[in-house]
């Protein structure tokens, strides 16, 4: 375990190099407990992602998809709860009282939906060995970096100096960021999705934006809850897309105020949701440096990004 001084780190607590990834100190106990105690059920659905890749959106869509027969849209839980409250991060809920949590988990409605930022190799064995499903989202690392840098400056305690883009970029290029390196994270799930396509659905934020309708139906089929023809012709897929859209979610009262995940102001989860916003921040030398790293790390994997 290696620690990074907090003044120079992304967030106020420390990051620890643990099992090959940089784990925020706030999450480490939860990661241990989750690895040791989580008993996956075949019906579980895990939303996995590298932070700032579209997790909130995918959680909302998946919650609406798997519950499409259960909740009327006009009275939907997503109108009154933040997606992270409906689909909690396992590494966060496992920070609490384990006995109470385990008995609560065993009584949850099926399918149970959870989120995680933990890299594939560090997931509990029960997830790997059961028939539970994983939906993974990744995003162009240039945009993920800008999204992370903005987000962490917003949520950093005001007592700490603002993290400059140069400092953040140097750390990001070394892979030092919560749950990073980001390329190892996506490659871990990517390789596993090639080996077990029925277990892991690998989605790209940019593709989901380009044809949300197609991917919503794809997620529904993958999770074994496809829309019927009548549901489709009644506009249900479009209604779910609208309910989970950036504009809709950002402007809901429940997402404008209050905190989630212990200390994160919900409003900071919704920034611009633009593809290619990085061009407004990157210098030519930054473009060159990150392009080379990504090309080198992803070479031969079959994964690539348009920049």
| Contact residues for ligand A3P, defined by CB under 6 A | 49, 51-57, 143, 147, 150, 244-246, 249, 269-273, 277
In angstroms, the Cα distances linking 264 to 116, 122, 157, 226, 268 are 16, 25, 11, 34, 8
| Nearest distance, CB of residue 97 and ligand A3P, angstroms | 27
Backbone φ/ψ region at 52: left (φ over 0), alpha (ψ -120 to 50), beta? left
Give Cα 111 distance to the centre of its chain. 19
Between 32 and 268, CB nearer to ligand A3P: 268
Sign for the pseudo-dihedral over CA of 222, 241, 213, 48: negative
| Nearest distance, CB of residue 106 and ligand A3P, angstroms | 28
Between 66 and 105, CB nearer to ligand A3P: 66
Measured from the Cβ of residue 27, the count of other Cβ atoms closer than 10 Å reads 23
Between 35 and 116, CB nearer to ligand A3P: 116
| Nearest distance, CB of residue 202 and ligand A3P, angstroms | 15
| Residue 3 β-bridge partners | 16
For the annotated catalytic residues, the residue numbers are: 117
Alpha carbons within 13 angstroms on the beta-carbon side of residue 228 total 5
Between 196 and 213, CB nearer to ligand A3P: 213
| Nearest distance, CB of residue 215 and ligand A3P, angstroms | 12
């Amino acid at each position: 375990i290696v620690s990074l001084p907090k003044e120079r780190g992304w967030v106020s607590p420390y990051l620890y190099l643990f099992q090959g990834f940089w784990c925020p100190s706030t999450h480490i106990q939860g990661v241990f407990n989750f690895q040791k105690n989580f008993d996956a059920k075949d019906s579980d659905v895990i939303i996995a992602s590298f932070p700032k890749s579209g997790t909130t959106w995918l959680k909302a869509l998946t919650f609406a998809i798997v519950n499409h027969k259960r909740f009327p849209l006009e009275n939907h839980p997503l109108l009154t709860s933040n997606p992270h409250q409906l689909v909690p991060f396992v590494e966060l809920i496992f920070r609490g009282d384990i006995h109470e949590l385990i008995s609560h988990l065993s009584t949850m409605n099926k399918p149970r939906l959870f989120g995680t930022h933990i890299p594939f190799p560090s997931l509990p064995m029960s997830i790997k060995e059961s028939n539970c499903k994983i939906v993974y989202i990744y995003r162009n690392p240039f945009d993920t970096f800008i999204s992370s840098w903005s987000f962490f400056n917003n949520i950093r305690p005001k007592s700490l100096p603002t993290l400059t883009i140069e400092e953040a970029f140097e750390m990001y290029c070394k892979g030092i960021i919560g749950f990073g390196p980001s390329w190892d994270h996506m490659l871990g799930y990517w390789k596993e999705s090639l080996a077990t396509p029925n277990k892991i659905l690998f989605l790209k934020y940019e593709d989901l934006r380009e044809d949300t309708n197609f991917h919503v139906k794809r997620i529904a089929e993958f999770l074994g809850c496809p829309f019927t023809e009548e549901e489709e012709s009644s506009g249900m897929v479009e209604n779910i897309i609208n309910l989970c859209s950036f504009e809709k979610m950002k402007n809901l009262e429940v997402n404008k105020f209050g905190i989630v995940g212990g200390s994160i102001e919900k409003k900071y989860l919704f920034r611009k949701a633009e593809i290619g916003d990085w061009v407004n921040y990157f210098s030519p030398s930054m473009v060159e440096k990150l392009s080379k790293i990504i090309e080198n790390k992803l070479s031969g994997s079959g994964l690539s990004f348009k920049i």
